[in-house]
Amino acid sequence: MSESTDLLVRGGTVVDSVGTSMRDVAVRNGVIVEPDALSEPHVVDATGCIVSTGLVDMHAHLGEPGDEAAETMRSAGHAAVLGGFTTVLAMPDTHPAVDSAAVVDHVRSIGSSALCHVEVAGAITLQRSGKHLAPLGELAAAGVRYVTDAGFGLQNPLLMRRALEYCRPLGLTVGQPADLRALSAHGHMHEGEWSSRLGLGGAPAEAEEIMVMRDVSLARLTGATLHFQTLSSAGSLAIVGAAARAGVEVSAEVAAHHLLLTDSDLVSYDTNRKVWPPLRSSADVAAAQTAVESGVIDAIVSDHTPHTTDRKERAFDEAEHGTVGLETALAVALTAGISVSSALRALSWRPAELLGLGDPTTRSLSAGATADIVVFDPDLAITSKASEMATLGTNSAYEGIELTGAVRATIVAGRLVVEEGKVVA
Amino acid sequence: MNHLLSIDDLTAADIREILRITPSFAEVAERRISKVPALRGQTVALLFYEDSTRTRLSFEVAAKRLSADTLNVSVSTSSVNKGESLRDTAETIEAMGIDAVVVRHRSSGVPMQLTKWVDAAVINAGDGWHQHPTQALLDCFTLEQQLGDLTGRNIVIVGDIRHSRVARSDVGAFTRLGAEVTLVAPPTLLPAAPDTWPVRIETNLDRALQRADAVCLLRMQRERQHEALVPDLREYATLYGLTAQRAAALGPDVPILHPGPMNRGVEIAADVPDLDQVLVVDQVRNGVAVRMAVLFLLLGSGAAGMPAPALVDDVETEDAR
Amino acid sequence: MGERERRGAPPYGGTFVSRAVVMDADQIRRAIKRMAHEILESNRGLDDVVIIGLQTGGIEPALHLVEALETIEGSRPPLGSVDVAFHRDDIGLRPVLPEAPTDINVDLHGCTVILVDDVLFTGRTVRAALDALNDFGRPRSVQLAVMVDRGHRELPIRADFVGKNLPTARSEAVRVTMSAVEIGSMQK
């Protein structure tokens, strides 16, 4: 399917940031056009499906460069478009870390081998060591809009303050995984009834909440743009909600798995469900679902973290953290009971806005907009199997779980890359 | 169920059945030739990732009294092996045609993880802080020998409960048998969410001992004082150790258990282990019989493993086929 | 665990349904008395004789036999029991659990052991019992007393003292208590 082929997405219900309507969507030369402008288009059947702007993942670990055994840009791109993502923000925890313009350029160039758009996040500190600031001005000049030490929250409050201060005039959003390591240090899962029963060291929700409190204060102090990554505890969400009401510029994301799975799902010591922050209690999961619906949570992310089997086929406390998630994020959100419009807001419209993608008016499927489009059946249930996924990572937290909501087609910049749930590009 | 991973996998009836048949196995030890052919031709691998001479020997003797072959798979405990692939080890064992794997590991959950990769029966001989089900069974057996039925009895467990697989297993077993359990420890050594455990919590040992029908002491590891969990061992011994005075206050009829090895002067005062009511030797002896029962149930009692097998009533039908 | 419903599941259990009573309580008592006389005659008294009942069906007949011997001789031979669960040749093939600990408090070396069971059928239980006895010493001789010999032997084993020879079909079942010997079948 070449880029110049005209496409007509027919028979679906268009849900975008403007509203909901039954209409066909036409694509020519990478942009959306009026349907009557086409002659003999390739028809994408969207009967019974939702048609919306392509999904945007603010948080994915793509493996390349440095961990090509677990994932490459190409395999991650396939996984992304199968999950309906047309844009993915690559985390900077690669080898080497993305802490210079040269690495930004390299990641961007290998990112072109992916079927989706790849945006590049920079590191806050050199080699993500949490010690010295990376050349943030150089990163900004290279087009980076978002910096994070990905996986390592900045522990030192003075360094965090400096990073926020320094990033503010550069227009950089600071992404922070909120985790007070000194308090969560011996934790392999959420501290509570289940860690107690399973005999695993627990990380209390308070380790996250204390960090959220601290960084809300620092955001207020510095006036910088702060984004909390993968919040997982009800207490954190309450603090962020209160901060937003008080006018502090903070945004927040939740990983899809924190909307569906709980600490009790670790009963069989499935290391593929060992994630960080850890799966929390059912009360925390309910709070996260509510926060997505209410808008306290801006974004749902995949926190896609591919691993080879050897890093997971270990004792639980020795296994690596993370689950793959690009292919399942939308389905997991819908299975968790998130409404279609809230899911799309958190998986497409709001993250695009936070990352400053395109112009704000293009988060709709109106004529003239870039043709990044997802078509999904919100009612189709599929039993998830890691072996059938496109990611090279073998670590899926959802093995054998029936997920409702399946991507049928994905169009990236006018190019049909997924059709009938399969990669066609 | 073809494995013994956790005491929580057993019902009260299952535990009672194991305890009922245990004396039959204890009797074997008293024979002139203390070995029966029950598990002849079967191989039991002892996979110990963590040093534990007494538990390994207990399982080894148990297997040998039943005529099973034993295979010691010594896995180096050096830190170099951290993060080794469990599946590789499991598949190696599987390829050797092992019938049962007795596994001890420093990490919680490893025995359950092994069941994904091996067809052999997996017996948990202690995993991390999680479970040590045969210890709980032998503790139940030892207490019942002294106290009879445990229903309504108040059993006090003292010590580092947070990090104790013995405590987790004992609580599950004792409460299933109808006993009331009181945990005594400084709050730093209590497990997370103690309110979700079916127990009473007490921080004052003397108060707890006043109504104790039995006392189980746990081993206090010296490293705990370096993790700021207790100020120092001397204070711990004063507040939570079974001193001679406390033992005297208990009276001679209250059995005292300890899973061993004991830290004399820490959780138990130097001379207390020599009292008749301290049943450490009984625990060791009973441990072999209980482990024989478990091995026999998993490997010798018929295809269905642990469940109590059918007893042919007092009727002689087709005898054996 | 906890599959207790397997108890009584075919083909190992079921309910015994009686078809006919072949011995009543009086006949059983007389048979035991006769067997006691035979044992005394054949062993010229009770010197070094040890009676051992097989778990579980042989326990009660053994006890009655000991009482009969005591009535006749005025002295009581040692009584023990043996559980053959650990010595069966079908371990792992069908559910087998020990019933009660084996209880043999005498050194069997040089003794005359009278094994007692309720029914002699294939002979495999007796073979297992002979094996178990080895753990307790080397008896001078082992003799077998059974309440019912129903035939269908699968091993070269015969009874020395028999309460009643009872021809049966393989599919039939025999139940022995001290009040009746019945023939019938197992209903699954």
Closest chain C residue to B297, measured at CA: C97
CATH superfamily of B133-281: Aspartate/ornithine carbamoyltransferase (3.40.50.1370)
Contact A183, A210 (CB under 8 A): yes
Residues 6+ positions from B207 with CB-CB distance below 8 Å: none
Is B105 within 8 Å of A315 when comparing Cβ atoms?
Answer: yes
pLDDT at A27: 96
Is B108 within 8 Å of A316 when comparing Cβ atoms?
Answer: yes
Longest dimension (CA), chain C: 52
Closest chain B residue to C168, measured at CA: B317
- The string of DSSP letters for C110-166 reads T-EEEEEEEEESSSHHHHHHHHHHGGG---SEEEEEEEEE----SSS---SEEEEE-
Whether there are 3 or more C-beta pairs closer than 8 Å between A and C is: no
Contact A327, A376 (CB under 8 A): no
- The string of DSSP letters for A247-316 reads T--EEEEEEGGGGT--GGGGTT--GGG--SSPP--HHHHHHHHHHHHHTSS-EEE--B----GGGTSS-G
Residue C139 half-sphere exposure toward CB, CA atoms < 13 A? 24
Is B112 within 8 Å of A313 when comparing Cβ atoms?
Answer: no
Residue A119, classed as helix, strand or coil, is: strand
Distance from CA of B193 to the nearest CA of A (A): 5
pTM over 0.95: no
**Per-residue pLDDT reduced to its tens digit, A159-194:** 999 999 999 999 999 999 999 999 999 899 999 999
Q: How many CB pairs under 8 A join A and B?
A: 72
Domain B7-132+283-299 identical in fold to domain B133-281: yes
Span B99-115, average pLDDT:
95
Closest chain B residue to A204, measured at CA: B192
B interface residues, A as partner, C-beta within 8 Å: 82-87, 105-110, 112-113, 127-131, 165, 168, 191-194, 196-197
Return the minimum-mean-pLDDT range out of A349-353, C6-10, C38-42. Answer: C6-10
Rounded to whole angstroms, how far apart are CA atoms A333 and B237? 52
Nearest to B167 by CA among B219, B123, B106: B219
Neighbouring chains to A with at least 3 Cβ pairs closer than 8 Å: B
Residues 6+ positions from B228 with CB-CB distance below 8 Å: B188
pLDDT at B76: 64
Domains and CATH numbers, chain A: 54-359 (3.20.20.140)
Nearest to B22 by CA among B305, B286, B303: B286
Which secondary-structure segment (H or E) carries A28?
strand A25-28
Name the token pair of A358. 């395109």
Q: Which of B31, B302, B317 is opposite residue C96, by nearest beta carbon? A: B302
Neighbouring chains to C with at least 3 Cβ pairs closer than 8 Å: B
Residue B226 reports pLDDT greater than 90: no
Burial of C24 (0-12, 13-18, 19+ CB in 10 A): exposed
Q: Which of C3, C119, C121 is opposite residue B307, by nearest beta carbon? A: C3
Residue A140 reports pLDDT greater than 50: yes
What are the backbone angles phi and psi of residue B279, rounded to the nearest 5°? Answer: -105, 30
Closest chain B residue to A186, measured at CA: B227
**CB of A400 within 8 Å of any CB in chain B?**
no
Nearest to A347 by CA among A325, A366, A367: A325
Span B152-157, average pLDDT:
98
pLDDT at A125: 97
Q: Which of B87, B108, B127 is opposite residue A313, by nearest beta carbon? A: B87
pLDDT at A257: 98
pLDDT at B305: 45
**B301 to each of A206, A270, B16, B58, C96, how far by Cα in Å?**
50, 31, 16, 21, 5
pLDDT at B234: 92
Is B192 within 8 Å of A191 when comparing Cβ atoms?
Answer: yes
Name the token pair of B125. 């001989």
**Per-residue pLDDT reduced to its tens digit, A301-341:** 999 999 999 999 999 999 999 999 999 999 999 999 999 99
Q: Residue A362's pLDDT band (boundaries 50, 70, 90)?
A: low
Distance from CA of B276 to the nearest CA of A (A): 33
Domain range C25-171, CATH architecture? 3-Layer(aba) Sandwich (3.40)
**Per-residue pLDDT reduced to its tens digit, A36-78:** 888 899 999 999 999 999 999 999 999 999 999 999 999 999 9
Whether there are 3 or more C-beta pairs closer than 8 Å between B and A is: yes
Residues in B closer than 8 angstroms to C123, CB to CB, are 319
Distance from CA of B4 to the nearest CA of C (A): 9
Rounded to whole angstroms, how far apart are CA atoms B242 and B271? 10
**Per-residue pLDDT reduced to its tens digit, A257-266:** 999 999 999 9
Determine the distance from the C-alpha atom of residue A154 to the mean position of all C-alpha atoms in its chain, rounded to a whole number.
20
Residues 6+ positions from A73 with CB-CB distance below 8 Å: A62, A64, A110, A111, A113, A114, A118
Residues 6+ positions from A269 with CB-CB distance below 8 Å: A198, A316, B108, B109, B110, B112, B113
Burial of B181 (0-12, 13-18, 19+ CB in 10 A): buried
Q: Residue A4's pLDDT band (boundaries 50, 70, 90)?
A: low
pLDDT at A86: 97
Q: Residue B302's pLDDT band (boundaries 50, 70, 90)?
A: low
Is A197 within 8 Å of B194 when comparing Cβ atoms?
Answer: no
Is B315 within 8 Å of C124 when comparing Cβ atoms?
Answer: no
Q: At what angle do helices B12-29 and B280-299 cross, to 10 degrees?
A: 110
Residues 6+ positions from B300 with CB-CB distance below 8 Å: B38, B39, B42, B66, C91, C92, C96
Rounded to whole angstroms, how far apart are CA atoms A253 and A229? 5
Span A284-303, average pLDDT:
98
Domain ranges of chain B: 7-132+283-299, 133-281
Nearest to B277 by CA among B147, B150, B160: B147
Rg of chain A in Å (alpha carbons): 20
Is B316 within 8 Å of C102 when comparing Cβ atoms?
Answer: no
Q: Which of B24, B310, B316 is opposite residue C12, by nearest beta carbon? A: B310
Say which of A99, A284, A303, A377 is annotated catalytic: A303
Catalytic, A6? Answer no
Is B86 within 8 Å of A313 when comparing Cβ atoms?
Answer: yes
Residue C77 reports pLDDT greater than 80: yes
Fold of B7-132+283-299: Rossmann fold (3.40.50)
Distance from CA of C73 to the nearest CA of B (A): 30
Name the token pair of B52. 């534990």
From the DSSP assignment, how many helices (H) and strands (E) are in chain C?
Answer: 3, 8
Name the token pair of C137. 């010493």
Is B196 within 8 Å of A198 when comparing Cβ atoms?
Answer: no
**Per-residue pLDDT reduced to its tens digit, A84-115:** 999 999 999 999 999 999 999 999 999 999 99
Q: Which of B49, B92, B129 to mutate to test the interface with A (most CBs of A within 10 A)?
A: B129
Rounded to whole angstroms, how far apart are CA atoms A396 and C66? 70
